[in-house]
């Protein structure tokens, strides 16, 4: 009678079978953004397609050029700059002039990323840095909105899209009158609520049949794409959850105080860029904290500031500024939320 011999192989930790590389993670984020981008093109037409191409190509060219000028190999193959281009395009109005989008792309990559040393060193989300630059430099075009599902959206550009550089964008009033459905005021649901106290149906907000930035309209689609990344374990769900939970809690408290003046949590979660910001921008691995407690503080800060800016600020949207402020505070949050070392005893403690 023979006994089969068995051997046991011991390895030191970490016991991980597969650690995804940076380019694999970034590539999957691009995959998650493709349905949102496709839906934006379906809603607004070839102007958004041109906007996406312009932002992505300009971001790629900017990073490649800076890498070459600084004497190092190009880093465009890690896909991170592709994400920057897509996200920047999705945060811009559908009819945003392409030359302005190119300038914002250069600012986002050059100032928001490469100025600090490239991927892994940027302190803020580069796409939002580009969006903030556009907000400051091009105040009128950045707040000009177009209706969804225009009949000629696949055969004609929105007039302002092809504006000649450094000239005032082409007026689109006549174009809006010919393609816009009855009652379109050129305002987003947030602007209608803030300045005119006009609410928008929650179903419309969820499916994306309202005016707004190119990729922010469908809250449901954004959430589904985010769940894909959570399933692949390539996004920290706790950050997005903290942003949305605190935003809902804050807006809910104000709604209980005065429901005639302040909108409810569902409206706040599904309108504007909150869902896109919470899922794809606040979760930036470089610009967000890494400590367990810091993640919740960071997410909660974004959710709270977003609602406060929306309700009491001069602008009707506050996601961009809330995330950028939280990005700036991220190193401090990491510092003050460091977990206690095992066996460490404070000086003077008995």
pLDDT confidence of residue 211: 81
> Would the pLDDT of 2 be above 60?
no
pLDDT confidence of residue 143: 87
pLDDT confidence of residue 338: 86
SS3 sequence of the chain: CCCCCCCCCCCCCCCCCCCCCHHHHHHHHHHHHHHHHHHHHHHHCHHHHHHHHHHHHHHHHHHHHHHHHCCCCCCHHHCHHHHHHHHHHHCCCCCCCHHHHHHHHHHHHHHHCHHHCCCCCCCCCHHHHHHHHHHHHCCCHHHCCCCCCCCCCCCCCCHHHHCCCCCCCCCCHHHHHHHCCCCCCCCCHHHHHHHHCCCCCHHHHHHCCCCCCCCCCCHHHHHHHHHHHHHCCCCCHHHHHHHHHHHHHHHHHHHHHCCCCCCCHHHHHHCCCHHHHHHHHCCCCCCCCCCHHHHHHHHHHHHHHHHHHHHHCCCCCCHHHHHHHHHHHHHHHHHHCCCCCCCCCCCCCC
pLDDT confidence of residue 176: 65
Mean pLDDT of 46-62: 96
**Mean pLDDT lowest for which of 101-115, 143-157, 275-289?**
143-157
Mean pLDDT of 298-314: 93
Tens-place pLDDT, residues 192-225: 777 777 777 878 888 887 888 898 888 999 999 9
Percent of the chain with pLDDT over 70: 86
> Would the pLDDT of 345 be above 80?
no
Q: Which residue has the higher pLDDT, 151 or 229?
A: 229
Mean pLDDT of 104-113: 94
């Amino acid at each position: 009678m023979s006994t089969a011999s068995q051997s046991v192989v011991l390895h030191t930790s970490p016991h991980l079978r597969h650690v995804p590389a940076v380019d694999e993670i970034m590539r999957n984020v691009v995959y998650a953004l493709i349905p949102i981008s496709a839906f934006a093109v379906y809603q607004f037409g070839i102007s958004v397609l041109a906007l996406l191409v312009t932002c992505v190509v300009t971001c790629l060219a900017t990073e490649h050029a800076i890498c070459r000028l600084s004497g190092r190999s190009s880093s465009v193959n890690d896909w991170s700059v592709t994400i920057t281009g897509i996200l920047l395009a999705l945060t811009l109005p559908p009819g945003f002039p392409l030359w302005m989008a190119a300038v914002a792309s250069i600012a986002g990559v050059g100032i928001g990323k490469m100025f600090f040393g490239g991927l892994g060193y940027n302190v803020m989300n580069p796409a939002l840095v580009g969006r903030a630059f556009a907000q400051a430099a091009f105040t009128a075009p950045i707040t000009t909105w177009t209706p969804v599902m225009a009949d000629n959206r696949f055969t004609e550009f929105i007039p302002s899209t092809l504006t000649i550089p450094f000239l005032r964008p082409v007026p689109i009033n006549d174009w809006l009158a010919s393609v816009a459905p009855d009652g379109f005021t050129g305002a987003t649901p947030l602007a209608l609520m803030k300045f005119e106290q006009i609410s928008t149906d929650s179903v419309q907000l969820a499916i994306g049949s309202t005016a707004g930035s190119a990729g922010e309209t469908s809250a449901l689609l954004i959430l589904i794409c985010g769940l894909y990344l959570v399933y692949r374990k390539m996004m920290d769900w706790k950050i997005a959850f903290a942003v949305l939970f605190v935003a809902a809690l804050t807006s809910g408290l104000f709604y209980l105080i005065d429901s005639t003046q302040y909108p409810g949590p569902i409206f706040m979660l599904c309108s504007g860029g909150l869902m896109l910001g919470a899922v794809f921008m606040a979760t930036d691995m470089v610009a967000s904290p890494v400590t367990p407690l810091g993640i919740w503080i960071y997410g909660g800060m974004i959710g709270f500031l977003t609602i406060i800016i929306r309700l009491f600020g001069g602008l009707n949207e506050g996601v961009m500024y809330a995330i950028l402020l939280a990005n700036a505070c991220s190193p401090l949050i990491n510092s003050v939320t460091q977990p206690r070392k095992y066996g460490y005893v404070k000086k003077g403690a008995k």
